[in-house]
Structure 1
Amino acid sequence: MDLVLSKESIDNIIGVLDEDLLRAGADCVLLVDRSGNLIVNRGDPANLDVVALAALSAANFGATAEIAKLIGEDDFALLFHKGKNENIHFTKVGKGFILITLFGKEVSLGLIRLNTARVTDTLVPILGGEQ
């Protein structure tokens, strides 16, 4: 998929991620394509290799999509991994993108899910896709 995003589109994406996810307490938010290419990175990834995270997340999402097919589903719209101190939430954005949100144990999963749904609804038209 070839997509060219204008500076205005990138600025809109950054504004949405900052307003709805970082202000809700997320530590880091990445928007990647389904091939693992990093589109936007916001927040403080600390010592995290965001390029590796983008690639591994896309592979994880791809593997999970195949699992979905095995059980008769078209796809899974989101994935969630809970760690001891950090959590990671993956959401499909349209057909070609994944929103990755890292957040600590002090942040409510429900708040992240609510805000991620709002972000996804906003990003799909910017990215020129359909849900």
Structure 2
Amino acid sequence: MSYILDQEQLEGIEEVLQKDLMDLGLKCVILIDMAGNIIANLDNGQVGHDVYSLAALAAGNFGAVCAMAAIIGEDDFALLFHKGKSENIHFSKVMDDFLLVTIFGNDVSLGYLRLKVDESITKLGKIFETTRQV
């Protein structure tokens, strides 16, 4: 399914991501569709990631993990988490069509982040409900 977002909706998405997630001290938040296209991208100004490659790889990674879930009898896995030495990545599905990718350091609690991501997903879902689908 495709969505058409207007400027007000894009600003609403960015406001949710900024207030609910970036203000926690995250390094980067990217909202993508399942094909890896970037819907919104916010960072703390200190990130030098190639977000386009990251978005494409995140979508592919999530797709691969969903295929693995199907093999073991699960519908899908709603979230993924990869822990690094200094940076971590958390992926969470937003509805069936989007993926929220957060990059954060070890100074951010994973449990608290998951709680805030869940709250953000609820808010984003309400924004997407008002979009025109084609």
- Normalised by the length of structure 2, the TM-score is 0.93
Partner of 2:82: 81
C-alpha displacement of 1:124: 1.3
Unaligned 5+ segments in structure 1 are: none
* % identical aligned pairs: 49
* 1:83-118 deviations in Å (ceiling 9; x for gaps): 000000000000000000000011110111010000
Identify which of structures 1 and 2 has the higher relative contact order when contacts are C-alpha pairs closer than 8 Å and 6+ apart: 2
C-alpha displacement of 1:13: 0.4
* 1:13-59 deviations in Å (ceiling 9; x for gaps): 00000001011111100000000001100113621000000000000
Deviates more, 1:119-128 or 1:34-43: 119-128
Partner of 1:38: 38
In structure 1, distance between residues paired with 2:91 and 2:65: 11
Structure 1 runs of 4+ off > 4 angstroms?
A: none
Whether the 8 Å contact between 1:24 and 1:111 is mirrored in structure 2 is no
In structure 2, distance between residues paired with 1:39 and 1:98: 10
Q: Give secondary structure in 2 for the equivalent of 1:79.
A: strand
In structure 1, distance between residues paired with 2:27 and 2:37: 20
C-alpha displacement of 1:125: 2.4
User: RMSD of aligned C-alpha atoms?
Assistant: 1.2
Unaligned 5+ segments in structure 2 are: none
Q: Give secondary structure in 1 for the equivalent of 2:25.
A: coil
Count matched residues. 129
In the TM superposition, 1:32-71 aligns within 5 A as 32-44=32-44, 46-71=47-72
Whether the 8 Å contact between 1:30 and 1:41 is mirrored in structure 2 is yes
